[in-house]
Amino acid sequence: MIKDINGDIPFYLKYDLGSNNLVRGFTQNKYLGNSFVGGQIEIERNFNKKISGVLFYGAGDTNDNFDNISILNLKTALGIGVRYIVSDDFKLRFDMGFANDGDKNMYIVFSDAI
């Protein structure tokens, strides 16, 4: 995924490395920028109809200038998680991400079941 915004924008509209969906593990608002490059792979294993486990690995970077992002210096994170399907319409997610800069973060997400 590649995203780029030109000009001055407020910090809350900048791309954030380490959201609960992409490159999980980094502390929120630690790496912000107008440009973002990143991706993630996730492997999920069903244990039964309601519970599954996941392993994930992500890499990315942000910067205010797209030209300053190098794929050779991407920040990386890996982690594990559990998914629990509460009902046909509701899923609960627990993830623990570990970033290569020493950050670690837990994510608890309530969402529509997919």
Order of strands, sheet of 90-99, starting from the edge strand that comes earlier in the sequence = 2-4, 35-46, 51-63, 75-87, 90-99, 104-111
What is the value of pTM for the model shown?
A: 0.84
Query: Is 90 exceeded by the pLDDT of residue 107?
Result: yes
* Domain map (residue ranges) of the chain: 2-111
In the structure, what pLDDT confidence band is assigned to residue 5 with cuts at 50, 70 and 90? Answer: confident
In the numeric block, which tokens belong to residue 113?
Answer: 């079941």
What is the arithmetic mean of pLDDT over 92-101? 96
pLDDT tens string 61-77:
999 999 999 989 999 99
**Three-state SS letters, 93-109:** EEEEEEECCCCEEEEEE
